[in-house]
Structure 1
Amino acid sequence: MVTNIAAYHFTPIDAPQTFAATLRTRAETLSLRGSVLVAGEGLNMFLAGEAEAIAAFLAPLHEDARFAGLRVKYSYSRRAPFARLKVKVKPEIISFRRPGTTPESARAPVVEPRTLARWLEQGHDDTGRRVVMLDTRNAQETEHGTFAGALTLPIDKFTDLPAALAPHRDALKDATVVSFCTGGIRCEKAALWMQADGMDNVLQLDDGILGYFEQVGGFGYEGACFVFDERVALWPDLTPQMDAPADAA
């Protein structure tokens, strides 16, 4: 069984090229496959390999003070969903091109998966406000599944989100808006941008859909969660579509 991890962490990296080279060497030595993105703002990675190799790759990161808050999401598959290893240095670990969306001093407010599940079950948040789930992913991803009744936007890439959201802003003023994405990175940037742009009623789903599946399961979610590898998508029990039939959901 192959261990798959997804993780990101915002932290200043003074020498991205050097850090990326170190991660590449470590991943190659451990025969890991997947993608690693490094930027001055942090690290974003999806890797697959033997459980012991994954643990050996993560150990130095957990010992690095810059990554003290690194949270890793795990799933498993019968075969590696990546053909090779790619390590790249980018201007951002997820391209949004909006200033002030890197959580340098503090994250945007979050809602924990179990709290969100309770809100969805009761139909409102703890103050009585209606909850609107805002999907920050693109149209290809949302076709595979999303939260029931979520606001999905007709976007092809994350940078399209601000313009696509604009027509909906007035209708969201009386709601608690929960931004969500696959693993948390896009909804974290989106929530910070929305907050800076005058929307004070926005939260982010902590750890994204994958974290919700891990902690809650599929309550309130319809379908699967698209992932950018050969697994295609993950069902709420984190079973890959490539390993299980659709009725496994």
Structure 2
Amino acid sequence: MQSANQYVNISAYKFITFDDTVEKRPEFLARCQELNLKGTILLSPEGINLFLAGLRHEIDAFLAWLRSDARFADLEPKESFSDRQPFTRMLVKLKREIITMKHPLIQPEKGRAPAVDAKTLKRWLDQGHDDQGKPVVMVDTRNDFEVDVGTFDQTVDYRIEKFSEFPDVIEKHREEFAGKTVVTFCTGGIRCEKAAIYMQNVGYDSVYQLEGGILKYFEEVGGAHYHGDCFVFDYRTALNPKLEPTATVQCFACRAVVTPREQLSPYYIPAFSCPHCKKAMREDTGIPRSQEAA
């Protein structure tokens, strides 16, 4: 049960025609500041994407305000909790896309790919096939460093470094998924939604997106068929299947994810370096290149 002093962390997105983002940006920023919220909101002609944290009454007040706009009346965020504010500032940004794919013809608001909910997916994975008897293949649409923190068992991971690489990679491997049901997934649902639509467009005939992503899966069924944790873009770095922060951290110098075991390395100096920095160190100074003077 949430305590009175715990922060509520929410993430949500919606693909919708949003042609007044310039006018709305100051309204969003002012409302969040009034409510002492921190985090990031992305406004784009294709919709909204947000990551916010605040006390329960502050978050509820913001959601009531947001839902007063008919375009966002049905927006349902995913929630987790923390003992301190996970963000350091409040940002409202204008973007061309709420998640960059560089394929403008992918327009989720005009028709989503089929979605599978967490409980159904768990049942499919338990039995080893979907309801039509097809083998189920999980495809991770996240960046490689996120996958390294945790992912579904036996998932397909193409080690992409940015989401805009996904379309070319998945199109090249289409024949490998013949006769199988593909489930795309990501942290909260936004990337796998675009990915599933693209896959349909290039000829995949049985593809689903995981509704709500990994975080909703954790919330509804826990960590079944998943190993490791889930990377998140705030100070918590990673959440376990109970949606609790873990001991995993992110290096301030190189931005790599540093596991508890890696934190035992002599190369791990908080706010300065980590084992992943070693390859980037100059042998004569031992200073990470990312911290060298320009």
Q: Deviations over 1:174-232 (max 9, x none)?
A: 11000000000000001111111111211100010011111111111111010111110
Instruction: Tell me the distance in 2 between the aligned counterparts of 1:234 and 1:173.
Output: 34
Q: Calculate the TM-score normalised by the size of structure 2.
A: 0.81
Residue 50 (1) aligns with residue 55 (2): yes
Structure ranking higher on relative contact order (CA contacts 8 Å, 6+ apart): 1
Query: What is the match of residue 192 of structure 2?
Result: 187
Query: What is the match of residue 129 of structure 2?
Result: 124
Q: Deviations over 1:142-196 (max 9, x none)?
A: 0000000000111110001122224422111111000000000000001111111
Q: In 1, are the aligned partners of 2:170 and 2:199 still within 8 Å (CA)?
A: no
Tell me how large the CA RMSD over aligned residues is: 1.6
Give percent identity, aligned residues only. 50
Equivalent position SS for 1:213: helix
Residue 5 (1) aligns with residue 5 (2): no
Q: Deviations over 1:42-70 (max 9, x none)?
A: 10000011111111111022222101321
Once the two structures are overlaid, the 10-residue window that deviates more, 63-72 or 219-228, is 63-72
Residue 30 (1) aligns with residue 32 (2): no
Q: In 2, are the aligned partners of 1:144 and 1:226 still within 8 Å (CA)?
A: yes
Equivalent position SS for 1:86: strand
Instruction: Tell me the distance in 2 between the aligned counterparts of 1:123 and 1:202.
Output: 16
What code does the residue aligned with 1:152 have?
Answer: D
Q: In 2, are the aligned partners of 1:9 and 1:69 still within 8 Å (CA)?
A: no
Q: List gaps (5 residues or longer) in structure 2.
A: 1-5, 249-258, 261-294
Q: In 2, are the aligned partners of 1:108 and 1:203 still within 8 Å (CA)?
A: yes
Instruction: Tell me the distance in 2 between the aligned counterparts of 1:230 and 1:153.
Output: 27
Instruction: Tell me the distance in 2 between the aligned counterparts of 1:153 and 1:224.
Output: 19
Residue 234 (1) aligns with residue 239 (2): yes
Q: List gaps (5 residues or longer) in structure 1.
A: none
Equivalent position SS for 2:110: coil
2:202 to 169, 193, 197: 197
Tell me the CA shift for residue 100 of structure 1.
2.3
Once the two structures are overlaid, the 10-residue window that deviates more, 117-126 or 6-15, is 6-15
Instruction: Tell me the distance in 2 between the aligned counterparts of 1:95 and 1:199.
Output: 22
2:145 to 130, 140, 143: 140
What code does the residue aligned with 1:9 have?
Answer: K
Query: What is the match of residue 228 of structure 2?
Result: 223
Q: In 2, are the aligned partners of 1:7 and 1:183 still within 8 Å (CA)?
A: yes
1:20 to 25, 31, 47: 25
